């Protein structure tokens, strides 16, 4: 079987789409030596963006004047040229393809929480995703929660067409020894001006991440309990972020905006953090929570959508709207070293149950199901 992947996001900054492709492709490379995989991109990838893959994986650059032209015309032509038996894309399924197509839809937050998106993005997603769900021969999503949401929001999609394949994290996310932490904290102090203990939050600055609530709860907890920790927020500026930026600015030096963090530094931030907080209103999976647990960082996160499915009993789950509960839990976890130690061990155990090989195995089953028809 020849499988063509729309791999354009491999060359971009670290995002959920890029992390997904890298993890899935790496997992497929471990378990599948029989099928041929063609990673189709619009531009040649830099060495840092390529993966060390076996001989049945091929990088192919297909140039086009724009991403739209690439998706509508160039991708299909490339699939024809390689004689593809199957295509795999994320979200948007082009209308004219020479072979069956699987699409990965991570979540439908734009449908469930439209007020958290710009009008432009809302219109584009509402125009493209329903058609893609119809055209796709199978839909892969990243949690059972997201699968249920898709089926509920789009009743025209048959249940036997949507499959859940949970995400995982790479081996770079691992706990640090006390000696390693000392050395890494010196680096973080120089690189990000993080001086002393800190609480970490990771994610693009956009309304769904619920950062103004977190900042308010953190400042109240800091004032009430008198701890010196700072809140470090790692993430690029997203959409509708003015309220979040205003909250960060008003917090003064108690909150540090780190901006976009390169791949190599993210595990260090998790590994040196006192704890990781993720108060998102909704997630298709919530990868930062799993990254934190795998790094040995205790977690406080929301009790909504897929987050309980990821965390299980290995973290503290709170209503994303209950500022008082966040304030209380921040104080409790910062002051209670034994609780942090317990959650650290539970988190490591929980994170070990997720693997990209398992993601790949379930995705490969979908490929085989589609092509067997």
> At a CB cut-off of 8 Å and minimum separation 6, what does 372 contact?
none
Q: Give the Cα separation of 353 and 72 in Å (integer).
A: 39
Identify the pLDDT of residue 263. 86
> Rounded to a whole number, what is the distance in angstroms from the first to the last CA of the chain?
13
Identify the pLDDT of residue 171. 94
Q: Which two three-digit tokens encode residue 309?
A: 């499915």
Mean pLDDT, contiguous 10-residue spans, the chain (373 residues): 95 78 96 97 86 95 92 95 97 95 97 93 94 98 98 98 97 93 92 95 95 98 96 94 95 95 94 97 96 98 98 98 97 97 98 98 98 90
| DSSP state letter for 56 | T
Identify the pLDDT of residue 14. 61
| DSSP state letter for 70 | I
Identify the pLDDT of residue 273. 97
Alpha-carbon separation of residue 364 from 28, 51, 102, 136 (angstroms): 8, 19, 11, 16
Listed in sequence order, the DSSP H helices in the chain are 16-31, 67-69, 75-82, 109-112, 119-135, 144-153, 178-192, 211-225, 242-250, 266-272, 287-294, 307-311, 323-335, 337-351, 356-372
Q: Give the Cα separation of 108 and 111 in Å (integer).
A: 5
Which domains are delineated in the chain?
A: 2-168+355-372 (3.40.50.2000), 178-351 (3.40.50.2000)
Q: Give the Cα separation of 364 and 359 in Å (integer).
A: 9
């Amino acid at each position: 079987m020849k499988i063509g992947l729309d791999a354009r996001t491999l060359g971009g900054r670290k995002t959920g789409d890029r992390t997904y492709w890298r993890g899935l492709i790496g997992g497929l490379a471990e378990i599948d030596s029989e099928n041929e995989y063609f990673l189709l991109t619009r531009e040649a990838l830099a060495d840092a963006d390529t993966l060390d893959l076996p001989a049945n994986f091929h990088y192919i650059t297909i140039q086009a004047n724009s991403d739209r032209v690439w998706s509508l015309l160039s991708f299909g032509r490339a699939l024809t040229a390689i004689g593809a038996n199957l295509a795999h894309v994320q979200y948007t399924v082009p209308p004219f393809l020479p072979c069956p197509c699987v699409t990965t839809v991570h979540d439908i937050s734009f449908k469930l929480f439209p007020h958290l998106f710009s009008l432009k993005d809302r219109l584009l997603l509402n125009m493209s995703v329903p058609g893609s769900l119809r055209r796709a021969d199978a839909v892969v999503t990243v949690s059972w929660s997201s699968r249920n949401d898709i089926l509920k929001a789009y009743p025209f999609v048959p249940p036997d067409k949507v499959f859940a394949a949970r995400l995982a994290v790479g081996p770079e996310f691992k706990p640090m020894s006390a000696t390693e932490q000392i050395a890494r904290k010196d680096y973080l102090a120089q690189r990000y001006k993080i001086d002393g203990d800190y609480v970490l939050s990771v994610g693009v600055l956009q309304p769904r991440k619920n950062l103004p609530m977190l900042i308010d709860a953190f400042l109240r907890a800091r004032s009430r309990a008198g701890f010196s920790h700072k809140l470090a927020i790692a993430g690029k500026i997203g959409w509708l972020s003015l309220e979040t930026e205003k909250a960060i600015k008003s917090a003064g030096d108690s909150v540090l905006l780190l901006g976009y963090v390169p791949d190599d530094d993210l595990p260090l931030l998790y590994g040196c953090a006192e704890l990781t907080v993720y108060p998102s209103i909704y997630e298709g999976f919530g990868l930062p929570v799993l990254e934190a647990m795998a790094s040995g960082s205790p977690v406080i996160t929301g009790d909504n959508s897929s987050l309980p499915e990821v965390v299980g009993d290995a973290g503290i789950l709170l209503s994303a709207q209950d500022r008082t509960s966040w304030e209380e839990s921040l104080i409790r976890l910062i002051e209670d070293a034994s609780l942090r130690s317990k959650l650290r061990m539970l988190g490591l155990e929980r994170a070990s149950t997720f693997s990209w090989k398992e993601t790949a195995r379930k995705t490969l089953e979908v490929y085989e199901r589609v092509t067997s028809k």
